[in-house]
Structure 1
Amino acid sequence: MADWAPIVIGLVLFVIFSPGVLFQLPGKGKVVEFCNLQTSGVSVFVHSLFFFGFMVIFLIAIQVHIGSG
């Protein structure tokens, strides 16, 4: 039985936390910018920390599992 939770949660979090797609933290002119499709090294680092933190919360702390079959 395969566990699809890491794949599905990782895909959703990747789309949500891609810098510049939905939001960028820190932005180039403001603290938070929305849908600007630009990025910087600092925002990539901040968004990767968010991604890692939420993956840990969902997969280890809450232990979300999506089974097939």
Structure 2
Amino acid sequence: MDLVEKFDAKGKTGAGYHVEVFQTPVETADEGQPGSKTYKLADGRALDPLSDAKFKIIQTGEKIYRV
């Protein structure tokens, strides 16, 4: 997986988080199609993307928002 993006997010309590986006390279004949993306916090906890700006920390259920 390749790191393709980093951004900051905040929870409702104001706690800040660093989000890292990884993308799996696609090695098929259909070039131009992006691979699947995985969202994680910098500390390694997995995120569930709810929209382009809203995510849920899987371990805790807390929702965080891109800033």
TM-score by length of 2: 0.28
Q: Return the index of the structure with the highest Cα Rg.
A: 1
More helix by share: 1
Higher RCO (CA < 8 A, seq sep 6+): 1
Q: Which has the higher strand share?
A: 2
